[in-house]
Amino acid sequence: MVLDKARNGSGFLLDGVASRLENINPNSITIISFLLAILFAVAYYLGYLSFWYLVIAFVLLLGSSYLDALDGAVARRFKKASKRGDFLDHLLDRFSDFVILFGMTLSIFGNLYFGILAIAGTFLSSYVGTQSQAVGLKRIYGGFPGRADRLVIVLIVTIVQIFTIRIPIFGFYITSWMLLFLGVAGFVNSVYRARLAYRSIA
């Protein structure tokens, strides 16, 4: 939620590009963002071959994250927002979350148990946020980490992993510690969001 707010206020980084994309379907941008997330997962998994794969992974995720914000900017600017686009955006966000964390989990730098926890925590937190909308409330984005927060954390950890590629910290690589953190934080955030939703139900 912290960086989700920052992203909403970063129009100067998006509007200039969005203004040139009148003829582009925002859904196409959403799909490309998802494809870049898949390529990130593959590149991260191949990180054991060379640190250059991690560099490529960083660039791919940076591009995916930018496009994830750009699709909404294009939709709003040219009044192309639709229920179908909203559904596709949130659906592919969840698929992207999965492939990103799955690729990191299966990499030599990941940990299977921490990865399962990270995926479960992330999905539960997202589920509670959307389930509130299903019962007639507004979709809940509150708490930490939101999706933008997670993406920035992954980007930072990728950079750290590049420079500490073969140096474990207390027995685990920084990637594994990040998965553990995202898992625990996701579960805590799901409880926080559930509390907000429950208190809002009349």
Tens digits of residue pLDDT in 1-57: 545 555 554 566 787 888 888 888 999 999 999 999 999 999 999 999 999 999 999
- Mean pLDDT for 96-106 is 98
Span 160-184, average pLDDT = 93
pLDDT band, very low/low/confident/very high, at 165 (cuts 50, 70, 90): confident
Query: What pTM was computed for the model?
Result: 0.90
8-state DSSP, 137: S
- pLDDT > 70: percent of the chain: 94
Asked whether the beta carbons of 31 and 92 are under 8 A apart, the reply is: yes
The CATH architecture annotation of domain 2-200 reads: Up-down Bundle (1.20)
| Eight-class DSSP state of 22 | T
With contact defined as beta carbons under 8 Å apart, do 162 and 54 qualify? yes
Break the chain into its structural domains and give their ranges.
2-200
Residue 2: what pLDDT?
47
